[in-house]
Structure 1
Amino acid sequence: MSYLARLDAVPETEKWPLLRGWLYSEPLPLFEELRRDRPVVQLPELDFCTRHADCTLILRRHNSFSVALYEPKQGDYFMAQDDTARHWREKSIMRSILDFEDIPAMRAFVGEEVARRLEDANGRIDFAHEIGRGVPVALVQHFFGFRNADPEKLAEWSYWNQQDAFHNQAFDAPGPVSSEEIIANRKKAGFALAFYLGRLVLRRTIAAKVGLEGDDPMSRLIRLSFSDALKFNLKQVLFNTGGLLIGAVETTSHATVNALEFLLTDPERRRAAEAAASNPAAFDPFVFEALRFRPAFPYFFRTATRDTVLAADTPHSATVRAGRTVLAVTHSAMFDPAAFPDPMRFDPSRDLSDAFTFGQGIHECLGRAIAAAMVPEIVRQLLLTPGLEAESAPDYGGTKVPQHWPLRFDAAGGSA
């Protein structure tokens, strides 16, 4: 039986759990059928959209599809708002203080940090924890002003904020930690992070007042808050500095695990990637094409604020009603032949301008330029490591994100 035949045969209460299971267990054949025969699947819980054109529309029409579901999780943070003055002002500020000129130095730091951790590991390492999370935490410490923080605490604070915002919505499957526990852990992590940042910002503020100014993003934000040139006070400094941490760690860990595992599991892909690894410019497209096959996020969720027709001018058009939760299934969209010719072919030379690895629209990833250097550099360093093998598949521990992934390699080797 086809996916849709099986879906239609079960009671309404069973449809979304069944579809959600296929989304993770056998996505590509599922998506192919849905794009062809029912590109907008309307269920009691949500609308599930799989065509590239519709996913693009959902993410780009922020006045019709809101990020309102983030607000209970992220409060006043600008990324939980749509077309507001605060969103535009603070995103502009954050883009300005994350200097593109720093990205080559960031990439060099990432490469050196991965190499150091591999050397210290002596032939075996938990990639997800020690590198996937550990390296972006080290980057945040070194470049963003968190130098004196406990790296394990930084990773923990990032983890629970990400878990609640992205993986603890009403439509998510129950996991090993209850929804209530996730919320409690996020609140606890948020309090601890705010306490740490409050003390740190106070010290940096005093330093700035006496002329001992730093040049990291936190110090730049503090000086900007003094200027009275725009509406940006120390509370906004706290929120946005915390956002730098929360946005950097978990998504990097998930993306690097997915890309590296995808490249390792096919000998031909691996050989081609290893051959390109001596040249970052030649290598990076391998990682981003791998993330088309194995994205960290298979969908983005939004709330419809007005009735909108999707799959318009096709036999499968459907109206999404205001108030509905909508999943733009961007994993499917990146295999839509209308946007990606011959989509099942792994092709690092492919133009990925229409991909969704960093999102699209006004909620596109704030740190995409940093991630576009950090993620492939982490994977590149591993593929330059002699004797690299996975001891098992990544361990998700019943969650949607990799918790552990043991790798082994030649202890006498190292990264180049």
Structure 2
Amino acid sequence: MTSALGEPADGPTADTPEYDIARPARCPLDPAPAMRARQAEGPLVRVRLWDGSTPWLVTGHDAHRAVLSDPRVSVDPFQPGAPKLSPGEAAATEHLLKQNKRSTGTSFIMLDDPEHARLRRMATSAFTIKRVEAIRRPTQRIVDDVLDRLLDGPRPTDLVEAFALPVPSLVISELLGVPYDDHDFFQSNSKALINRDTPAEERRAAQQRLADYLDGLLGEKLAHPREDLLSGLAGRVKAGELSREEATEMGVLMLFAGHETTANMITLGTLALLRHPDQLALLRDSEDPRLIAGAVDELLRYLTITHGGLRRVALEDIEIAGQVIRAGEGIIPVNETANRDPSVFPDPDRLDLTRDARRHVTFGFGVHQCLGQPLARMELQVVYPTLLRRIPTLALATELDRIPFKHDGFVYGAYELPVTW
């Protein structure tokens, strides 16, 4: 509701609740209790950040999609009023502004159209469904090879190190043309970037190390192109369609996003299935590609590893869910509450692999939705059934409350997952 003057009827006050994304210890796969409490208040409410700012929290599914598809809403972190979810994030942005460098090192995902659309087009062809399906068989071989090594190793073992990280790292390395032998380097630096509490200086150093590494590889591809994505970007640099810096940043983004997010989905998806043996059996025993694809979407909805919310800012006054968001006001659309909206997903806290979960927003929505979602879906469609069929006695080797979850990251997951069989 709005007042006669168009001002939000429930604007920020001293009682505006704090932004809190801590997931519950007893149910760590569910959204934060504070986020659910805000959702109960309405699809669009105010919260208070660490710096005292009071952006709009978008908790409802329809409002979430409306915000992310509105061209009057910006993703640019340098826009006045854009929310910063941690001191480290704010310091990193301020540092770049002082250098007069309006780039975050994350390529097009933090740019608005038309520049976003120009850069995104350069990578779209690598992630079409047709191109992704062409690497399904090689992905199956990678999964089987990694499982062979896991089964030959000790029990119990850490599923993260033995399986969840190697599989997507190998897939994205092969796709990009990055030597897998360097995986420890790019994984350690990715961890620094994804942790919201990483100090600004450490974040910049990790970003620079990755940029230098990808720039070196890009130089090799410029001289000796091959059949890989980095060589394709190098070709666009030669043609004058991309600058070398733009191509490097795009490579960093794809390397980072291509292994970190999928690794966390493999880890948490396996944990969720182990905690729901009836659903595990359904997926393990099915040969139906449609059921498997639907099961992956339901796991993506249920887990929503991109937790804590996206960051946006209104460029003009807009009305969403009966509230007026003024130009310059920050907006935080929350994926995990949108995916647990009972008006769209009945009984949303239940994991149901037969549910039609295709309207989930785990990959975002609108022009900025995740470019690599066909690749992520394909990998998960291969990973889960193969893992469950080849290790039918797979079981947790620890108690739930002893699993170290990534409450401190922009991407939710577990640092380790001890399993046995």
Q: How does the TM-score come out when normalised to structure 1?
A: 0.79
Q: 1:16 to 1:376 in 2, by over 3 A?
A: farther
- 1:283 and 2:292 equivalent? yes
Distance (Å, rounded) in 1 between the aligned partners of 2:164 and 2:180: 21
Assess if the C-alpha contact under 8 Å between 1:114 and 1:378 holds in 2: no
Unpaired stretches in structure 1, ≥5 consecutive residues: 1-7, 169-177, 208-212, 313-317, 410-416
Which of 118, 130, 139 is matched with 1:89 structurally?
118
Superposed displacement of residue 204, structure 1? 2.2
- 1:220 and 2:248 equivalent? no
Match of residue 404 from structure 2: 395
Distance (Å, rounded) in 1 between the aligned partners of 2:148 and 2:174: 15
Match of residue 45 from structure 2: 41
Assess if the C-alpha contact under 8 Å between 2:304 and 2:339 holds in 1: no
Instruction: Write the mapping of 1:130-209 to structure 2, written as runs, cut at 5 A.
Output: 130-147=162-179, 149-163=181-195, 168=196, 178-180=197-199, 183-207=200-224
Deviations along 1:44-93, one digit per CA (max 9) or x if unpaired, are 33222221111011111142243425893824711110112x31122111
- 1:123 and 2:155 equivalent? yes
Match of residue 258 from structure 2: 248
Assess if the C-alpha contact under 8 Å between 1:60 and 1:360 holds in 2: yes
Match of residue 4 from structure 1: none
Superposed displacement of residue 307, structure 1? 2.6
Distance (Å, rounded) in 1 between the aligned partners of 2:70 and 2:105: 22
Distance (Å, rounded) in 2 between the aligned partners of 1:126 and 1:135: 14
Q: 1:370 to 1:233 in 2, by over 3 A?
A: same
Q: 1:28 to 1:206 in 2, by over 3 A?
A: closer
Corresponding letter in the other structure for 1:201: L
**More off after superposition, 319-328 vs 278-287:** 278-287
Corresponding letter in the other structure for 1:296: I
Distance (Å, rounded) in 2 between the aligned partners of 1:43 and 1:397: 22
Assess if the C-alpha contact under 8 Å between 1:103 and 1:370 holds in 2: no
Assess if the C-alpha contact under 8 Å between 2:16 and 2:48 holds in 1: no
Distance (Å, rounded) in 1 between the aligned partners of 2:226 and 2:126: 13
Q: 1:338 to 1:203 in 2, by over 3 A?
A: same
Match of residue 79 from structure 1: 109
Assess if the C-alpha contact under 8 Å between 1:97 and 1:221 holds in 2: no
- 1:371 and 2:376 equivalent? yes
Deviations along 1:100-154, one digit per CA (max 9) or x if unpaired, are 3533235324422432332343333212233222221111222211126421112
Which of 280, 283, 291 is matched with 1:273 structurally?
283
- RMSD after superposition: 2.9
Deviations along 1:355-378, one digit per CA (max 9) or x if unpaired, are 112111111111111001112322
Q: 1:291 to 1:397 in 2, by over 3 A?
A: closer
Q: Quick one: percent identity of the two aligned structures?
A: 22
Match of residue 59 from structure 2: 50
Q: 1:150 to 1:327 in 2, by over 3 A?
A: same
Deviations along 1:15-50, one digit per CA (max 9) or x if unpaired, are 215x54468866487766654543322133322222
Match of residue 3 from structure 1: none
Assess if the C-alpha contact under 8 Å between 1:258 and 1:295 holds in 2: no
Corresponding letter in the other structure for 2:18: W
Report the structure, 1 or 2, having the larger helix content.
Answer: 1
**More off after superposition, 22-31 vs 333-342:** 22-31
Assess if the C-alpha contact under 8 Å between 2:17 and 2:46 holds in 1: no
Q: 1:62 to 1:268 in 2, by over 3 A?
A: same
Superposed displacement of residue 342, structure 1? 4.5
Assess if the C-alpha contact under 8 Å between 2:23 and 2:32 holds in 1: no
Q: 1:106 to 1:247 in 2, by over 3 A?
A: farther
* Secondary structure of residue in 2 paired with 1:150: helix
Superposed displacement of residue 308, structure 1? 2.4
Superposed displacement of residue 193, structure 1? 1.9
Corresponding letter in the other structure for 1:349: T
- 1:16 and 2:46 equivalent? no
Distance (Å, rounded) in 2 between the aligned partners of 1:377 and 1:200: 29
Q: How does the TM-score come out when normalised to structure 2?
A: 0.78
Instruction: Write the mapping of 1:58-69 to structure 2, written as runs, cut at 5 A.
Output: 58-68=67-77
Assess if the C-alpha contact under 8 Å between 2:74 and 2:314 holds in 1: yes
Q: 1:221 to 1:43 in 2, by over 3 A?
A: closer
Distance (Å, rounded) in 2 between the aligned partners of 1:334 and 1:376: 20
* Secondary structure of residue in 2 paired with 1:407: strand
Distance (Å, rounded) in 2 between the aligned partners of 1:67 and 1:323: 12
Match of residue 5 from structure 2: none
* Secondary structure of residue in 1 paired with 2:332: strand
